[in-house]
Amino acid sequence: MMKNILFRADSSSTIGTGHIMRDLVLAKQYPNSKIIFASQDLKGNINHKIVESGYEIEILKSNDIEELNKVIKKYNIDMIVIDHYGINYEFEKKLKLENQKLKILAFDDTYEKHYCDILLNHNLSADESRYRGLVPNSCELRCGTKYTLLRDEFHQQFPKKVETKDKNILVAMGGVDSRKLNIKIVEVLCSFKNMKIDIITTTANKNLNELKEYVGNLNNVTLHINTNEVAKLMYESDFAILTPSVTVNEAYFMKLPFIAIKTEENQGDIYDYLQRNNFSVLDKFDTILVHKKIELMINKLSFKLINFTKLTLDDKKMILEWRNAPSVKKWMYNRDEISLENHLAYIDSLNSRDDRVYFLVKNENNSIGVVDLTEIKREKSAELGIYINPKLKGYGSLLMNKIIEYAFNELNLKILNANVYEDNLKAINLYKNFNFKIISTAKDKNETLHNMELINENR
């Protein structure tokens, strides 16, 4: 039986375009239903997108409940999808009381109270437990990446990337760029060499003419207005600078590294989640901090993981020199000097093992350090080890970032463990900065050894 579904959402130069865009994705999940949108005719709206998608639209003069009720009765609506910060619990409850058979699906990403049958929070940061007491007991909760709304363009196949000396950077500060940051970010990016920059925006951007004029003078910057190729641009990019919003869900799906700059208060939950999980974030735009974040990102992207089984003899000898250095050796289980013969024999033995991987980490200028994953188990856990070239300083966080990303994204591991001596305060602080928790302690050679654990929250 065909159902009549009403979407209540607005778009404008102030509100942005994200609500309508994600509603259009959700609407496709109901192919056998009659879809109607109810939206106001606000300045900078994208109501034309609704019409272009083949749906009917009722133009509202206000956000008044009585006006919306007339539309519900006119179309004999079975379910209403509410994607609007201006509609609250009391509004929803009144709608329900006046339309007993009406089903309500409410979007939420700020953990507000709702009177609904289904609550949808499709963000990376969504936490089902936080809705306890905020929705009726009978409410169906749809939270997290399982429910992420992605346009069809994100599910297509892309050709293999062509490697170039340029770094491809995507700037996506929202369809309206409410804080007018596009130009400021590009100015910072242009202080680096070999930058090819793509900017995504829409006609809802009040500063579009100024942005067009600015970009017109730059050969390395391309402006994309109302583009349907966001997924393609993400795929072709080395990293993105974006807001902690729905765009983060898309970048995460595309495995695109990013720097997220908070521009609105309603981005707080995603921002906090990203910060807790060691993504690169800023709570506001700051030229100096953005420059540092970009520099770190470039360094991180230049890191290469070279499996020990593919090392040259010189690489192997170099690693042995690090391993036997007093500053490294004193934190090892085995503090004996390792001979070259035993060292080479151990590396050769790795060819026949699938329970451990060792990597030499390099960037364009240096050999940085060693990271390893050992005792890789079927239950998706592994023990992590890390040590840095004793001649270098300041690379711990970059190394940790690289190996956690590899372990969780490439190997799909669920848990990482690390055993760290209590007196190794530098290492303990590094692990804690990446949210490793001490779960147990033990004695080793009369020294206290902490077992630390990191759980992949997305598995």
Mean pLDDT, residues 378-402: 87
CATH: 3.40.50.11190, 3.90.1150.10, 3.40.50.10420, 3.40.50.300. Which one for 4-149? Answer: 3.40.50.11190
pLDDT of residue 62: 96
Span 170-199, pLDDT tens digits: 999 998 998 999 999 999 999 999 999 999
CA distance 26 to 331: 53
Mean pLDDT, residues 284-289: 97
Beta-carbon contacts of residue 307 (< 8 Å; ≥ 6 apart)? 357, 358, 359
Least confident of 97-106, 160-169, 332-341, 440-449: 160-169
pLDDT of 99 above 90:
yes
CA 164 from chain centre, in angstroms, equals: 25
Among 378, 321, 315, residue whose Cα is nearest residue 347? 315
Asked, colleague to colleague, whether 4-149 and 156-300 share their fold, the answer is yes
Burial of 314 (C-beta count, 10 Å sphere; 0-12/13-18/19+)? exposed
pLDDT of 135 above 90:
yes
For 427-452, b where at least 16 C-beta lie within 10 A, e where not — what string?
bbebbeebebeeeeeeeeeeeebbbb
CA distance 308 to 347: 7
Choose, from 19, 84, 114, 122, the residue flagged as catalytic. 19
Domain spans in the chain, listed from the N-terminal domain onward: 4-149, 156-300, 304-455
Q: Which CATH superfamily is domain 156-300 in?
A: Glycogen Phosphorylase B; (3.40.50.2000)
Three-state DSSP at 101 gives coil
pLDDT of residue 393: 86
Among 116, 76, 110, residue whose Cα is nearest residue 95? 116
pTM for this entry: 0.78
Element (H, E) at 370: strand 367-374
Span 400-436, pLDDT tens digits: 988 998 888 888 889 999 999 999 999 999 999 999 9
Asked if 19 is an active-site residue, the reply is yes
pLDDT of residue 378: 67
CATH code that applies to domain 304-455: 3.40.630.30
